[in-house]
C-alpha cells in the first residue's frame, strides 16, 4: 500500500517532479551512467514510453466508450504496461525465469522491435516517431538488471494523472533542468531554455489561431510548439470545431529545427506527448532544413 501511495502522489510543482527524477539519476549514476550525457538520453526514452503507454490506454478507453475502433502503436508484449510496469505480465514472468532473462528480452527483443516500427507496412506517424526516438538506443546503458528494474519502478511514478499541468511540462521541464546541469558539468556554456512562464506569455501575446502555421528555428525540447498547440486548441480542445480543424492542427501546423542530437529525440517525444501527431516536421540536422524554412509561415503565428 505504501508503494502504491507513492506512485499516486500528485506532483504539483517542478520541485516535486525533480525530486523523483533526481532519485532516478542517482540510480543511473551508480550503474554505468555517471554523466548527464549518458543518463539524459536513457531517461528520455524511458519516460517517453511510460507516458505514451498511459496516453494510449486512455485513448483506447475513450474510443471504446463511443464504439470507435482503436489500434495502439504497440502490441503486447512490447507496451510499457507489459514489460516495464511493476505489475506487467511479461516482467513478472521474466523475473521468475532465469537470471538475466529480463535484460535479454529488453535488449534483444523490445529495443529492436521499437526501432523497426517505422519500417513496417502502413506504419503510423506515431509509430515512426517511436522508432526515431529509439533510433540510437542499441541497448540500455544501465549495467545490471536490478538497477534497471529500480529505475523502471521510479519512472512509473511519472504519470500524467499525477502531474499538475498548470505548473509542470512533464518532459520538457525535466530535461531542461538536466541539460542545464549537463552543460555546466562539461564546461561548454550549457544550454539555454526559455522559462515556461515566458513561453506562456509570448504565445498568449502572439495569439496563434487554427489555420496558421508555427515555426521555431531553435526549438530545443519543443516548449514553444507544445504551448502553441495548447493555446490554439483551447481548454479541452474547445477551439476545435470540426475534424478537419483537428487534422490541420495535429499534422500541418507545427514546424521546427533543432541541431543537437541529444535534444532532438527529446523534442520529438515532448511534441508527440502533447498530441502533435506529426513532429517529423522537426527534421534531423542532416535533413534538408532549407526545405522546412521555405514552407509558408504566418508572421502572426511564428513563435521564433
pLDDT, residue 160, reads 63
Cell of 159: 504519470
Q: Tens digit of pLDDT for each residue in 231-264? A: 999 988 899 999 999 989 988 899 888 888 778 8
Instruction: Categorize the per-residue pLDDT at 220 as very low, low, confident or very high, splitting at 50, 70 and 90.
Output: confident
Tens-digit pLDDT profile for residues 11-25: 666 677 778 888 898
pLDDT at 204 over 90: yes
HSE at residue 261, side-chain half, CA atoms within 13 A, is 8
What is the rounded distance in angstroms from the CA atom of residue 193 to the CA atom of residue 180?
8
Binned at pLDDT 50, 70 and 90, residue 191 comes out as low
Cα distances from 264 to residues 51, 114, 140, 163, 188, in angstroms, run 18, 18, 19, 24, 18
Structure confidence at residue 236 (pLDDT): 84
Reported as a single tens digit per residue, the pLDDT across 43-99 is: 889 989 998 998 899 999 999 999 999 999 999 999 999 999 999 999 999 988 888
- Domain 1-168 sits in CATH 1.10.10.10: no
Burial label for 24, CB within 10 Å (0-12, 13-18, 19+), is buried
- The pTM (predicted TM-score) of the whole model is 0.79
Q: What is the pLDDT of residue 171?
A: 63
CB 100 within 8 A of CB 136: no
Whether cis (ω within 30° of 0) applies to the bond prior to 41 is no
Mean pLDDT of the chain: 80
Residue among 193, 133, 136 at smallest CA distance from 169: 193
pLDDT of residue 263: 80
Q: What is the 3-state secondary structure (H, E, C) of 92-149?
A: HHHHCCCCCHHHHHHHHHHHHHHHCHHHCCCCCHHHHHHHHHCCCCCCCCCCCHHHHH
16 vs 5: CA distance, rounded Å: 15
Comparison of pLDDT for 11 and 274, the residue scoring more: 274
**Contacts (Cβ under 8 Å, ≥6 apart) of 265:** 41, 44, 45, 132, 133, 135, 136
pLDDT of 298 reads 39
State the pLDDT at residue 293: 34
Mean pLDDT of 289-294: 37
Whether pLDDT at 159 is above 90: no
Query: Tell me, what's the pLDDT at 4?
Result: 42
pLDDT confidence of residue 257: 85
pLDDT of residue 7: 45
d(CA 169, CA 80): 21
Identify the CATH homologous superfamily for domain 194-304.
Vaccinia Virus protein VP39 (3.40.50.150)
Using CA atoms, how far apart are residues 30 and 132, in angstroms rounded to an integer?
28
Domain boundaries, the chain: 1-168, 194-304
99-143: pLDDT as tens digits: 899 999 999 999 999 999 999 999 988 899 899 899 889 999 999
131 phi and psi, to 5 degrees? -65, -40
More confident residue, 248 or 194: 248
pLDDT band at 209 (very low <50, low <70, confident <90, very high): very high
Amino acid at each position: 500500500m505504501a508503494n502504491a501511495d507513492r506512485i499516486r502522489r500528485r506532483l504539483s510543482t517542478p520541485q516535486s517532479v525533480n525530486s523523483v527524477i533526481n532519485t532516478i539519476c542517482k540510480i543511473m549514476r551508480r550503474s554505468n551512467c555517471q554523466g548527464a550525457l549518458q543518463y539524459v538520453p536513457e531517461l528520455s526514452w524511458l519516460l517517453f514510453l511510460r507516458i505514451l503507454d498511459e496516453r494510449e490506454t486512455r485513448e483506447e478507453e475513450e474510443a471504446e466508450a463511443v464504439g470507435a475502433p482503436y489500434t495502439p502503436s504497440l502490441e503486447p508484449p512490447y507496451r510499457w504496461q507489459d514489460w516495464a510496469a511493476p505489475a506487467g505480465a511479461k516482467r513478472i514472468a521474466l523475473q521468475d525465469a532465469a537470471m538475466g532473462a529480463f535484460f535479454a528480452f529488453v535488449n534483444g527483443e523490445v529495443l529492436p522491435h521499437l526501432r523497426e516500427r517505422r519500417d513496417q507496412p502502413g506504419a503510423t506517424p506515431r509509430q515512426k516517431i517511436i522508432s526515431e526516438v529509439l533510433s540510437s538506443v542499441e541497448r540500455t546503458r544501465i549495467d545490471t538488471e536490478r538497477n534497471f528494474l529500480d529505475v523502471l519502478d521510479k519512472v512509473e511514478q511519472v504519470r500524467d494523472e499525477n502531474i499538475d499541468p498548470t505548473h509542470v511540462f512533464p518532459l520538457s521541464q525535466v530535461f531542461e533542468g538536466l541539460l542545464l546541469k549537463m552543460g555546466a558539468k562539461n564546461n561548454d556554456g550549457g544550454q539555454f531554455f526559455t522559462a515556461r512562464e515566458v513561453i506562456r506569455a509570448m504565445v498568449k501575446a502572439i495569439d496563434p489561431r487554427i489555420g496558421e502555421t508555427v515555426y521555431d528555428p531553435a526549438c530545443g525540447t519543443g516548449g514553444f510548439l507544445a504551448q502553441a498547440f495548447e493555446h490554439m486548441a483551447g481548454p479541452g480542445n474547445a477551439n476545435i470545431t470540426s475534424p478537419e480543424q483537428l487534422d490541420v492542427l495535429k499534422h500541418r501546423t507545427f514546424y521546427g529545427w533543432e541541431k543537437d542530437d541529444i535534444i532532438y529525440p527529446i523534442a520529438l517525444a515532448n511534441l508527440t506527448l502533447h498530441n502533435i501527431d506529426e513532429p517529423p516536421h522537426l527534421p534531423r540536422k542532416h535533413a534538408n532544413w532549407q526545405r522546412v524554412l521555405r514552407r509558408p509561415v504566418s508572421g502572426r503565428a511564428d513563435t521564433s
